[in-house]
Amino acid sequence: MKTLSIKDIAALANVSITTVSFIINGKAKEKSISDGVIKKVEKIIAENGYKPNQTARSLRTGNSYTIGLLVEDISNSFFAKVARKIEDKAYSKGYKIIYSSTENNAEKAKDLIHLFKSRNLDAYIISPINGIEKEIEMLLNDNKPVIFFDRNLPAIQTNYVGVDHFKACYDAVEAFIKDGKRKIALITTDVKVDQIMERHNGYEAAISDGGLSYDENLVLKIPFKQTELQTISSIENLLLSREIDAVLFSTNYLTLSGLRAIKNIKRTVNSDFTVIGYDDHVAFELHSPEISTVQQPIEEIAESIINLILKELSSKVKPKKENIIFPATLILRSPN
Amino acid sequence: MKTLSIKDIAALANVSITTVSFIINGKAKEKSISDGVIKKVEKIIAENGYKPNQTARSLRTGNSYTIGLLVEDISNSFFAKVARKIEDKAYSKGYKIIYSSTENNAEKAKDLIHLFKSRNLDAYIISPINGIEKEIEMLLNDNKPVIFFDRNLPAIQTNYVGVDHFKACYDAVEAFIKDGKRKIALITTDVKVDQIMERHNGYEAAISDGGLSYDENLVLKIPFKQTELQTISSIENLLLSREIDAVLFSTNYLTLSGLRAIKNIKRTVNSDFTVIGYDDHVAFELHSPEISTVQQPIEEIAESIINLILKELSSKVKPKKENIIFPATLILRSPN
DNA sequence: CTGAAAGCGCTTACAG
DNA sequence: CTGAAAGCGCTTACAG
């Protein structure tokens, strides 16, 4: 049984493909197709389970009803959760999601953007990295909505949905200080994007506002490319070599590595050092003791992203680019 | 700057689009295009960063270099990890992944399959549910490779990549019994697919082979549709209402709910009951005490899936459908 | 109220 | 060694 085309439906209904097309696309009234013809064609479409070929439609109209999602690593729990929420919201509007993981590799990301572009995607949701500015400009020149999230590229004028990381880290460190901590370490990545630096700045500001002095020996910057075992061992070294009473992690996966490190060196969270993680994770709540964390509002982030896309896609005039910053929530779980 | 088409390249190079097409598709030699022309055209393509429009190519050839991935929930850590591995392996062969979450809802799954079909996908990777048999047959009639994983629909003759769940659960229960446990509970879902029932059967067989008697009051079947809070509370009820010294969970997310339940009722893993989970999860290794688990070989599963797809796509004759079953690995982490 | 025809950007059988 | 032309399945401006 061959897949039916619009031609087959037109033949079955004894009308032209133009008429069928108008009916499929809800333009029957506007094009004043008679009710009888509409009924007849709709019946035939339903009986045969005809679905218009989206590839042909896409070639003709330039739209694909597909959104590209480019993140660091789709299996990272933060991105996986965002991906799911975005999928749900996009699905309800008739859009599908095609994804790829950049691994923070600019070459791979550029390649992916070209691949995406050659598929007529309607919009792009990207957690960007430095070095892909030209490719982003290309998409913007094409008038495709581009929404950055998680991270921003300030050189690029496009929409950004993010979280106030400065304040998130400031609040976390402030909580440590209120709790009497004095030797507060920051474990972060060496990725050079504003959103990572903001976390560092928030840490530094809170340290200084709290009357402590900034000690760069307490800040560990983990190279993105290294294996988890290397990361764990760097963290172990830091924790063993310095006097430390509190640790703030700046990402989800670093927190997990940190908890392993603490376990490996047979220390205990809270009795040896207080810990605050980043991005909530089931493992934090199940941990004994429970791990406090800075939580990003995933649902709201996904919602804003999709709304921005739909707004751009539906508006004739180019809407102004928007910057939407949500506050993170500090969840303190382990009262000392 | 408009996106260039094959026509523009042909004009720039002063050749026909046929020639450009042959060169793009690596058929230059076979079609005996002269070396000079090849060089010239390739130079122009490189200089202008021309990329063939995949939508047009897809319409013409019927291939899209896109694979559909249909799972229960892409944010579930097991599926997210599989999705990432599949992405990596597909990417290296030039394929992209479009995903959707079925939520174990047959209506949604059917709808998604129709949507996918209308996009000319080249292959389908599906964690199936009952009720979508007709749609799968439709894809198979189209001669599209369909790979089931995680679960199978035995009524359908297609490829399946899975794990020996019977043995996995049998081994887990056997380990409990060797450890002196006598009141062994099974917490599973009510989803009616063979792979879930196999887990139940493995449990039952090991109970009986171990000289214990099967007690249906120790088996809790959680409805898929209920909220996590309801699940946790059902598990709490079971654990409080019966004498139980060991618990086997049959899925990843149920294990997580179970650990929360145990925590809520202030019991402790190992001192109150031994626990074995399903599908490894970072939270298990970080838990105190560490949680033993049945581990599915994610890397191998992803690899097999992609290999099956590539094999079918590249072979002229219809290859025989394959059933690939991997053993699960029982990881015992908390010696009593 | 409805249809014939052009065209989206490719690939490929056919011709020379 | 290379090109003109048909056609994949749609949408839409134009004509009647």
**pLDDT above 50 for A336:** no
Minimum CA–CA partner of A61 in chain B: B55
Q: Tell me, what DSSP letter sits at residue B105?
A: -
pLDDT in tens, A38-76: 999 999 999 998 999 999 999 999 889 999 999 999 999
By the 10 Å C-beta count (0-12 exposed, 13-18 middle, 19+ buried), A44 is classed as: buried
Q: CA quadruple B18, B21, B23, B25: dihedral positive or negative?
A: negative
- Reference A97, options B312, B135, B76, B83; nearest CA is B83
Residue A121 Ramachandran class (φ > 0 left, ψ -120 to 50 alpha, else beta): beta
Paired with B268 in beta bridges are none
Provide the 3-class DSSP secondary structure of residue A216: helix
Bridge partners (DSSP) of residue A274 are A246
Q: Bigger pLDDT: B51 or B28?
A: B51
- Measure B37 CA to D3 C1' (Å): 14
Top mean pLDDT of A285-289, A331-335, B161-165, B311-315 is at B161-165
Complete domains list, chain B, with CATH: 6-52 (1.10.260.40), 60-163+299-326 (3.40.50.2300), 165-295 (3.40.50.2300)
A59 reaches B (C-beta below 8 A): yes
The B329-331 sheet, strands edge to edge: B219-222, B184-189, B246-249, B274-278, B292-295, B329-331
B19-23, B66-70, B112-116, B189-193: least confident range: B189-193
B100 touches chain A (CB under 8 A): yes
B126's tokens: 């599906």
Residue B57 in tokens: 């190519």
Q: Which of the four pLDDT bands, split at 50, 70 and 90, describes residue B336?
A: very low
Q: At B1, is the pLDDT very low, low, confident or very high (cuts 50, 70, 90)?
A: low
Reported as a single tens digit per residue, the pLDDT across A177-189 is: 999 999 999 999 9
Residue B180 is predicted with a pLDDT of 93
pLDDT digits (tens, 9 = 90+) for B31-49: 778 888 899 899 999 999 8
Cβ of A205 near strand C (under 7 Å)? The reply is: no
Confidence (pLDDT) at A73? 92
Q: Is the pLDDT of residue A225 over 90?
A: no
CB contact A326 to B (< 8 Å): no
CB-nearest to B59 from A55, A88, A97 is A55
Determine the Cα–Cα distance for residues B171 and B166; give it in Å rounded to an integer. 9
A66 and chain B: CB distance < 8 Å anywhere?
yes
- CA distance to partner chain B, nearest, from residue A88 (Å): 8
- Residues A128/A194, Cβ–Cβ less than 8 Å: no
Interface residue B81 vs chain A (CB under 8 A)? yes
**Which B residues between 278 and 317 have a beta carbon under 7 A from any strand C atom?**
none
DSSP B33: -
- At residue A202 the predicted structure's pLDDT band, cuts being 50, 70 and 90, is very high
Q: What is the pLDDT of residue A304?
A: 96
- Written as six digits, the tokens of A158 are 């496009």
Q: How far is CA A308 from the centre of its chain?
A: 14
CB B162 within 8 A of CB B297: no
What pLDDT is stored for residue A215 in this prediction?
A: 94
Q: Is the dihedral of CA A122, A127, A132, A136 positive or negative?
A: positive
Q: How far is CA A16 from CA A13, A20, A29, in A?
A: 8, 7, 16
Average the pLDDT over B113-129 and give the result: 92
Closest chain B C-alpha to A229 CA, distance in angstroms: 14
A72-109 pLDDT, tens digit each: 999 998 999 999 999 999 998 889 999 899 998 999 99
Q: Which bases of chain C are under 7 A from a protein CB atom?
A: 1-5, 7-13
Position A224 scores a pLDDT of 85
The overall average pLDDT reported for chain B is 91
For residue B2, how far is the Cα from the chain centroid?
Answer: 40
Nucleotides of chain D in contact with protein CB (under 7 A) are 1-5, 7-13
Closest in B97, B119, B263 to A55, CB measured: B119
Nucleotide nearest to B6 (CA to C1'): C9
Quick one: average pLDDT of B247-268? Answer: 93
Residue B7 CB in 7 A reach of strand C: yes
> Within the 139-168 window of chain A, which residues sit less than 8 Å (CB to CB) from chain B?
141-142
